[in-house]
Amino acid sequence: MTEIPVVGGGIAGMAAALFLKKQGLASVIHEAVAGPLDRVCGEGILPVGVSILDELGLKGKVIEAGRPFSGIRYLCGKYHAEGRFDFGQGIGISRHRLHHVLREACLLTGVEVIEGTPWRLDDSSAWIDARGLRPRGGHDRSLRSSRVGIRMRVSGPIKDVVQVAFMSFGEIYVTPTGNDTSSVAFLVNPSKMPAPTAWRSWLTDHFRQRFPGYRDAREYAVRAPIAGYGWPASTNAVGDALCAFDPISGAGMSFALMSAKLVASKWGSYQKKQLTRAMSSFGSYTQTLLAFSGGGWRSKLLVRQLGKNPSMFDKMLSQYDGEHGLSDLGLMNWLKLALP
């Protein structure tokens, strides 16, 4: 049986290989980096991503390795708003643990994984591009340029929501990832920060002021600046190699899983309509949040109005499923958000 090359052994690549296996198709994963893959991200999987893990029979293992959450809480200044999912729970899990679960599943099902050796493109064969976020000579309007991602892990009170604080220098994301552990991700604008040598203490101080009660900040990691990215040349791209969303979306890992399913679950029948719909769904939510980001009056307006209209927040989250867009909310709901 001819093996289908999957180039990139991250979340999207591993999931694509598992969906190919469900069809009885053989694949081989080529990953240029040896060892566990990890990078700074919010480390939350939306309910739509959890449902896809369930299709792969991995939901239970991911819950064991992480922590479920039921919604999202926004904070800005004195305002706060909390919305709840109406179609299941999300799961907070460290990226390297999720990668371990997927890699173990691949090996147990007989998927060959070749690590530490770059793969050379063979024009004569169909392949899946899962190489992740990289320059492609274009610009994706769902990504802010000149942003840096920073992560640390903390112990302390565990919430059943992902908390997002809009700050003047960027955003702080707090995701429950264990019984006593949360992942803290900062997405910052370096031009509004002190010298890089002072970032760790400066951000830790701001975090503790905004989220008192947490302790033991550790595993500090910095990601290179996020730049503009464009559309891929490969029609079989998945995850960030297909479409990159700004981290404010919280959709990175979920879109990786969804795109892997849509590309690999019906191999040979490219599901362009469904992929376009998924990108539009996540993209419209991302664009809305970007319009209200920055920690200024727009952020305060969004959080204040959602706090006054929690049912509106719930409806917004109900559209965040890769199938619908915020335009589906209807005029009356948007008027509720706009009117004081």
Give the domains, in start order, of the chain with CATH numbers: 4-67+92-141+227-294 (3.50.50.60)
Q: Work out whether strand 4-7 and strand 128-129 pair parallel, antiparallel, or are unpaired.
A: parallel
pLDDT at 277: 81
DSSP classification of residue 239: G
Give dist(CA 151, CA 186) in Å, integer.
6
Quick check: 194 and 115 in contact, CB under 8 A? no
Of the candidates 14, 263, 239, which has an alpha carbon nearest to the alpha carbon of residue 132?
Answer: 239
Q: Among 38-42, 101-105, 313-317, where is mean pLDDT lowest?
A: 38-42
pLDDT at 228: 40
Mean pLDDT of 126-142: 59
Mean pLDDT of 207-212: 92
Residues 6+ apart with CB under 8 A from 24: none
Both tokens of 266, joined, read: 């019906």
Position 124 pLDDT exceeds 60: no
Of the candidates 3, 61, 90, 17, which has an alpha carbon nearest to the alpha carbon of residue 239?
Answer: 17
Position 229 pLDDT exceeds 50: no
pTM, whole model, 2 decimals? 0.88
Position 144 pLDDT exceeds 80: no
Helix (H) or strand (E) holding 45, with range, is strand 44-45
Q: Among 61-65, 73-77, 324-328, where is mean pLDDT lowest?
A: 324-328
Q: Among 56-70, 145-159, 263-277, where is mean pLDDT lowest?
A: 263-277
**236 compared with 13, residue with greater pLDDT:** 13
* 171-188 per-position pLDDT tens digit: 999 999 998 899 999 988
pLDDT at 53: 97
pLDDT at 274: 81
Give dist(CA 252, CA 227) in Å, integer.
16
pLDDT at 49: 95
pLDDT at 67: 96
Position 32 pLDDT exceeds 90: no
Q: Among 89-103, 234-248, 294-308, where is mean pLDDT lowest?
A: 234-248
Q: Among 90-94, 102-106, 286-290, where is mean pLDDT lowest?
A: 286-290
pLDDT at 166: 96
Percent over 70 (pLDDT), the chain: 83
Position 330 pLDDT exceeds 90: no
Confidence of residue 138 (pLDDT cuts 50, 70, 90): very low
pLDDT at 37: 72
Confidence of residue 133 (pLDDT cuts 50, 70, 90): low
pLDDT at 273: 78
